[in-house]
Amino acid sequence: MTATELPGHVDLTEHGIRAGGRVYLNPTTSMLYTHALARNEAVLAEGGPLVVDTGRYTGRSPQDKFVVREPGSEERIWWGSVNQPIAEESFDRLREKLVAHLEQTVIYVVDAFAGADPAHRIAVRVITDHPYHALFARTLFIEATEEELADFSPQALVLHAPEVEADPAEDGTRTGTFIVLHPSRTEVLIGGTFYGGEIKKSIFTVMNDRLPLEGILPMHCSANVGHDDRVAIFFGLSGTGKTTLSADPARLLIGDDEHGWGGTGIFNIEGGCYAKTIRLSAEAEPEIYRTTRTFGTILENVIVDERGVLDLDDDSKTENTRAAYKLEQISNALPEKRAGHPESVIFLTADAFGILPPIARLDRDQALFYFLSGFTAKLAGTEIGVTEPQPTFSTCFGAPFLPQPPGVYARMLGEKLDRHGATVWLVNTGWTGGPFGEGRRMPIAATRALLDAALSGALEGVAYRTDELFGFEVPVEVPGVDSTLLDPRSTWRDPEAYDRKARELAAMFRDNFGKFAAEAGAEVAAAGPHV
C-alpha cells in the first residue's frame, strides 16, 4: 500500500487523534528515507544505509518504564523495579499530551504484525511524528500483505513522540522520559527519548504478557535451524552474542532476538534484526557486516564522515551503536520465520569474572536454576550509565521485558524441556584468563567451534568432568578447541585467585537465587553452585 494522505482512508479518531497535518499511511522505505533526509534527521552513508543520531539516549531507559496499575491486569503483573506502577490517571494525562502534539504535526502510521505464527500474532499500529522511527517500526515488525492492510484492525497501539516530555510532579514519572504500557488497552506511550529500541522492546513486553495466557513461552533469544532440521535457540542479554552466533552461514536464521515456543515449535516475533555494530568485523560477522552497507538498513549512532564513509570502530558517541535491518537481508534467513521444537537450548553469558567455562552441559533442574538466575554482564552502552561490563543477574535472560513473575516463564520452560527433551548448554562468551581488565574476551572462533560440536551432536560422545563448585558438566576435550580454555582455572596466572573469585561468584548465585527458591522448589534450588 502506498503512502496516503488522510483523512479519507484511515480514521485516526478511533485512537482519539484528529490529525491537523498530513498523515502518511504505511509509507515506503524510499519515502521515509526522503523525509528523514529532507528534515536533516539522518544522513546517507556509502552503500545506502540511513544513519541517525538518537541524541541524549543511546540505549534503553529501564528506570523510566512503567506499567499502568489497573483492574484488568494488576493481579498478574510482577510489580517492582522492573514493572513500576503508574496510575491510570497519569497514563491518561500523558496520552493527552502525546495526542495534542501529534495532532499538530506530520504523522506517520505503520501497520504490521508481531508474531510469525498466524495463530499467535497481534496486529500492531505505530503512530509517530518522525520518519526514522516509522522506518524502524517498518523494519523490525513483520510486514502485512496488501490484503492484510486492506482489512487491518490494530490490536496493539504505540503512540510515539520523542519531543514530548512528562512533568514528573504532575505525571508521576521519574524524569521527562516515559515508556508506559497499559496492559488491558494494549497501548504503549513513548516520549522523551529518540532511541528506537524502546519501540521494539515495548511490543516485546506486550507479547511477554499476552503469549503465556495462550500457553506460549515468550523468549528473549535468537534461533536458527540446520539443514538437518535441528533447531537451536540462544538466550542472552544484549552483547552476549545472540545475534552474532545465530547468524551462522551453515544454518538458517529464524530470528535474532525474540521468539515464542508453542505447540508446533518456535516462531519469530519480529520481522527484522537489531544488531550491535561496534567493531563489527567483515571476517568474523560477514552477514551482519554486509547489512551496514545496504539500502534499507538504519544505523543508530554510528560515526560517518562527510564523504558518507562509516567507522564502525568509533565508540565516541556510544558503545551501543546499532543496525536495524530486515531479516531477509541475511542471505540464509528462513523466510517462514518458524521451525520445529528446539533440540538445543543455549544460555549465553558474558562472565566478566572470567570464572565460567566456555561451555557446560546442564541437567533439567540446573537449566531452570541458571534460567531464573540469568547471570551475565551488562555491556557498555546498552543501558544509560553503563560504561564498562557490570556483573548482573537478569532473570530469564530478559528481566526488563517480563510483565509477569519469572516463575511463570520458568515453569513453562521446564514443561517444554520435559516434553521435548532438549539439551541445555551454558556458554560463556565473556572473559577468560582473569576478570575484565586482566583477562581477555573469549575467542569467538572457539565459541563457534564449541557450538558447532554441541549442535551437531558431536559433544554427546566426549568425556566430561563435573565441576565441583558449580555442579555442571564440562567437556574435557573438544576437537579444534584449545583444551586449556575448557578449564578456566588453568588460564589464570594465579590459580588461587581463581578459586577465591569462583567462590565469590558461587555465593552471588546463591544469594541472588534466594528470592526464587520458594517458588522454584527444592530440587531446582539445590541445582545451583555448592557453596
Task: Indicate which residue of 120, 201, 259, 337 is catalytic.
Answer: 201
Task: Indicate which residue of 15, 35, 60, 121 is catalytic.
Answer: 60
- Under 8 Å between Cβ of 387 and 469: no
Task: Indicate which residue of 111, 257, 351, 467 is catalytic.
Answer: 257
Pairing of strands 142-143, 107-114: antiparallel
**What are the φ and ψ backbone dihedral angles of 345, each rounded to 5 degrees?**
-120, 120
- Under 8 Å between Cβ of 368 and 528: no
Q: Is 201 a catalytic residue?
A: yes
Residue 359 has, within 13 A of its CA and on its CB side, a CA count of 28
Task: Indicate which residue of 222, 240, 243, 394 is catalytic.
Answer: 243
Q: Is 251 a catalytic residue?
A: no
Distance CA 295, CA 50 (A): 8
- Under 8 Å between Cβ of 184 and 70: yes
**What are the φ and ψ backbone dihedral angles of 500, each rounded to 5 degrees?**
-65, -45
Pairing of strands 221-225, 231-235: antiparallel
Alpha helices (H) along 5-87: 29-38
Task: Indicate which residue of 35, 97, 210, 322 is catalytic.
Answer: 322
Task: Indicate which residue of 125, 133, 242, 338 is catalytic.
Answer: 242
Q: Radius of gyration of the chain from Cα atoms?
A: 23
95-110 in b/e burial notation, b at 16+ Cβ within 10 A?
A: bebbbeebeebbbbbb
Task: Indicate which residue of 220, 251, 337, 378 is catalytic.
Answer: 220
What DSSP character marks residue 514? T
Task: Indicate which residue of 54, 202, 238, 432 is catalytic.
Answer: 238
Distance CA 187, CA 325 (A): 25
Q: Is 60 a catalytic residue?
A: yes
Q: What residue has cell string 567483515?
A: 282
- Under 8 Å between Cβ of 208 and 259: no
Q: Is 242 a catalytic residue?
A: yes
Q: By C-alpha distance, which of 238, 231, 259, 412 is closest to 339? A: 231
User: Is there a cis peptide before residue 7, judged by omega within 30 degrees of 0?
Assistant: yes
Which residues are known catalytic residues?
Answer: 60, 201, 220, 238, 242-243, 257, 322
